[in-house]
């Protein structure tokens, strides 16, 4: 073995690379299935596809890809600022909202620092903390809901940041405005609070966290184009924060971290309210169908505020594999230390119906 790997950061040894939802093409190859017979309900993608307005804008942008993107993202940042009532200086655009997590790590984390997250929070927070040699303090989340009191109580002088996924993935649970307000009154000035709001648009009357940025608190709100806008393949998201924190994050990114097609698609998707409304309506219908089906099947599930449901099936990995053989890709949850559970994304109604029929078949034969 080359000895050079010994010189890699010692803390990388414990780091396991992110395990994404299984792609359709790979499943087709491995299972000998026709890709068109496979449905993927594994990555909380938009079953209606991308915003048609975004597609149109991207086609036009494709004609100019010989030119470097606008590294400063002037138009997209302006559009985002306008939509949410901020200035451009409050907006950082990123290669998927996941990159915001990484930029915050670059800006603020050193080995030995502490990051606080809920035990069953989105796993990327811990991966990023580990990448920078920081320790993740995982706080118990009774009933799979973030316990903000306990998270505030976990703050030490070494705490640099706290992640709150609202709604959380993979649990689909939320914390409300009152809990957030109480929590924020306890957070000291040396801590950055990150609200990851990837599923914000699916929630009617979601809590207002942007007010904390207006008050000048050390808050970053993450949003993405990957979910309700249906642009997951483009890799584009953004953070809203104070101009001071935004300046730090801007220094940490690559000169052209978001590409010109993504910027154009995002600008159009941002204001495509019609596509978002259709997606929300379809999601409400499908999620209710899943939840009543699970209840009728006697399966425990976690009531969800997002576009997926966490459901207890016994042998999560076994059910995942058996569903895969039948052309239905869902997500096993062992990487979240939930080996008895699977997470299923809401699809179109025909996809949801096929998924439930297949799940019944699999559970009956196990
Ligand atoms: C899907 C998701 C994101 C979005 O990631 P992108 O990098 O924007 O595609 C962020 N946070 C959570 C909790 C998610 O589930």
**Å from CA of 67 to ligand 1 middle:** 28
Q: What per-residue confidence (pLDDT) applies to 1?
A: 56
Q: Give 42-98 pLDDT, tens digit per residue.
A: 999 999 999 999 999 999 999 999 999 999 999 999 999 999 999 999 999 999 999
Q: What per-residue confidence (pLDDT) applies to 18?
A: 87
Q: Is residue 212 over pLDDT 80?
A: yes
> Contact 229/45 with Cβ under 8 angstroms?
no
Count CB atoms within 10 A of the CB of residue 173: 23
**Å from CA of 98 to ligand 1 middle:** 6
Query: What are the pocket residues of ligand 1 if the criterion is a CB atom closer than 6 Å to any ligand atom?
Result: 44, 96-98, 122, 165, 169, 196, 198, 224, 226-227, 232, 237
The pLDDT confidence band at residue 3, using thresholds 50, 70 and 90, is confident
Q: Is residue 179 over pLDDT 60?
A: yes
Residue indicated by tokens 């058996």: 322
Q: Give 152-169 pLDDT, tens digit per residue.
A: 999 999 999 999 999 999
Entry pTM: 0.97
Q: Pick one of 3.30.2350.10, 3.50.50.60, 3.40.640.10, 3.40.50.720 as the CATH number of 53-272.
A: 3.40.640.10
Q: Mean of the pLDDT values across residues 134-156?
A: 98
Lay out the sheet containing 135-139: strands in order across: 91-94, 237-241, 219-224, 192-196, 159-165, 114-118, 135-139
Q: Which of 9-18, 25-34, 214-223, 320-329 shows the lowest per-residue confidence on average (mean pLDDT)?
A: 9-18
Half-sphere exposure of 341 (CA within 13 A, CB side): 19
**Residue 224 CA, closest ligand 1 atom number:** 8
In three-state secondary structure terms, 345 is strand
Counting every residue written for the chain, the total comes to 366
Q: What is the CATH number of domain 9-40+274-365?
A: 3.90.1150.10
Q: What is the DSSP letter of 93?
A: E
Residue 319 and residue 141: Cα distance in Å, rounded? Answer: 25
Give me the residues paired with residue 93 across strands.
238
For residue 167, say if its preceding peptide bond is cis, omega within 30 degrees of 0: yes
Domain ranges in the chain are 9-40+274-365, 53-272
């Amino acid at each position: 073995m080359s000895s050079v790997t010994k010189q890699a950061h010692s803390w990388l040894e414990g780091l396991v690379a992110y395990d994404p939802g299984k792609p359709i093409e790979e499943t087709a190859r491995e299972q000998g299935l026709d890709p068109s017979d496979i449905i993927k309900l594994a990555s909380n993608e938009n079953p209606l596809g991308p915003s048609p307005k975004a597609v149109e804008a991207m086609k036009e942008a494709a004609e100019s890809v010989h030119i470097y993107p606008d590294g400063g993202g002037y138009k997209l940042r302006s559009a985002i600022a306008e939509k949410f009532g901020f200035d451009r200086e409050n907006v950082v655009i990123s290669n998927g909202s996941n990159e915001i997590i990484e930029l915050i790590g670059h800006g603020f984390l050193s080995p030995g620092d502490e990051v606080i997250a809920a035990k069953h929070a989105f796993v990327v927070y811990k991966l990023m903390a580990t990448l920078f040699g920081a320790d993740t303090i995982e706080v118990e989340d009774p009933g799979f809901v973030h316990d903000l009191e306990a998270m505030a109580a976990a703050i030490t002088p070494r705490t640099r940041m706290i992640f709150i996924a609202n709604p959380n993935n993979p649990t689909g649970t939320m914390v409300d405005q009152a809990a957030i307000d109480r929590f924020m009154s306890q957070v000291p000035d040396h801590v950055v609070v990150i609200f990851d709001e990837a599923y914000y648009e699916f929630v009617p009357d979601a809590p207002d966290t942007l007010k904390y940025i207006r008050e000048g608190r050390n808050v970053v709100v993450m949003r993405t184009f990957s979910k309700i806008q249906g642009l997951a393949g483009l890799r584009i998201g953004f953070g809203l924060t104070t101009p001071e924190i935004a300046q730090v994050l801007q220094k940490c990114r690559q000169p052209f971290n978001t590409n010109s097609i993504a910027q154009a698609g995002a600008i159009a998707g941002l204001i495509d309210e019609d596509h978002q409304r259709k997606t929300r309506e379809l999601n409400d219908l499908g999620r209710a169908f899943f939840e009543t089906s699970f209840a009728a099947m006697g399966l425990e599930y976690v009531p969800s505020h997002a576009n997926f449901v966490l459901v207890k099936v016994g042998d999560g990995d076994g059910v995942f594999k058996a569903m895969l053989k039948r052309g239905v890709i869902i997500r096993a949850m062992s990487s979240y230390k939930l080996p008895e559970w699977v997470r299923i994304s809401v699809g179109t109604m025909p996809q949801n119906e096929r998924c439930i029929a297949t799940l019944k078949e699999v559970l009956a034969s196990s």
